[in-house]
Structure 1
Amino acid sequence: MNDSALKLPTQEIVVDEVFPHAPETIWKTLTSEALMARWLMEPQGFAPVKGTRFTYQTKPAGEWDGTIHCEVLEVVPNERFVYAWKGGHESNKGYGSRLDTIVTFTLTEVPEGTRLRLVHSGFVTPTNDTAFQNMREGWRKVVPSLGNFTDVPH
């Protein structure tokens, strides 16, 4: 049996937004620990450096302690930022089920400013359906709000 036969069906969240800011400004908002804490969650141990492992803390469920384990996978300043997003526990059903996903932010300069494309991929169907639905709604609110945090001094 080859690898493709073992691959489970997955879903991805895609949010595309244009901001009236330079790519450098949006980049700083995405990769500054202080600003991330304002628009998403407070990261622990974060640095925008490939290989950096960091965590977020959210509401625990069942056997899962609520810790989201992340690792920076790719950093191309002002263009692309990618990290792994893992959490949950295999014994949980619905909220808090085992999750092994990838978050990708791609920035493109456009005449209006910067196009930001978020792709959060790897939600296994049906195991991660609850996480997919919750996070899809969350990202659809969070990404458009990023422009509100660009000029925050830190």
Structure 2
Amino acid sequence: MSDAASLSPSQDITVTDIFPHAPETIWKTLTSGALMGRWLGMTPVGFEPVIGNRFTYRTTPAGEWDGTIHCEILDLIPNRRLRYSWKGGHAGNTGYGSPLDTIVTFTLEKVTGGTRLSLVHAGFVLPRNETAYRNMSGGWTKVIPRIITIAGEGT
């Protein structure tokens, strides 16, 4: 079997929206732990917008997985891009709670009348991460629009 044939296919989640706010306003909403907790529904613990910073989210445990999502800031360009790892799950689980090793990237682009925000959550290995991919696809499409409400409070 070749290396290419042994690789599992992966899938990415992509969500794009335009907000009537400056990139700086959207950036603040993406990089303030308290604000992140409000729009994402999970408050990060130990979050600081600094490359190399490690932080966690907590969600519903499953099987041998304790529900902790481990993250690390991988790339950061103020008002333009935030990229971090998103790892969780346990090898003893199938379905929800199976091992997950992905990357979340937020990209901001100034456009007429506001900011285009693009989210890419990349690296879902199928079929192992099928449940996470399906659930998080729906989840991201619900939480990204909440950013407009949170961002609007500060303007």
- Per the TM superposition, whether the score is higher than 0.5 is yes
Relative to structure 1, the CA distance from residue 84 to residue 2 in structure 2 (aligned partners, 3 Å threshold; closer, same or farther) is farther
| SS at structure 1 position matched to 2:123 | strand
Structure 1 counterpart of 2:30:
30
| SS at structure 1 position matched to 2:144 | helix
Structure 1 counterpart of 2:115:
114
Structure 1 counterpart of 2:62:
61
TM-score normalized by the length of structure 1: 0.95
| SS at structure 2 position matched to 1:150 | helix
Distance 1:122 1:101 in 2: 5
Matches within 5 A, 1:1-154: 4=4, 6-40=6-40, 41-152=42-153
| SS at structure 2 position matched to 1:39 | helix
The amino acid that maps onto 1:70 is: C
State the shift of 1:2 in Å. 7.7
Detail structure 1 runs of 4+ shifted over 3 Å in the superposition: 1-7
* Structure 1 unaligned regions, length at least 5: none
Distance 2:15 2:152 in 1: 22
Once the two structures are aligned, what percentage of the paired residues are identical? 63
The amino acid that maps onto 2:20 is: P
Relative to structure 1, the CA distance from residue 11 to residue 45 in structure 2 (aligned partners, 3 Å threshold; closer, same or farther) is same
TM-score normalized by the length of structure 2: 0.94
Relative to structure 1, the CA distance from residue 3 to residue 80 in structure 2 (aligned partners, 3 Å threshold; closer, same or farther) is farther
The amino acid that maps onto 1:52 is: N
Aligned residues: 153
The amino acid that maps onto 1:13 is: I
State the shift of 1:145 in Å. 1.6
| SS at structure 2 position matched to 1:63 | coil
State the shift of 1:4 in Å. 4.8
* Structure 2 unaligned regions, length at least 5: none
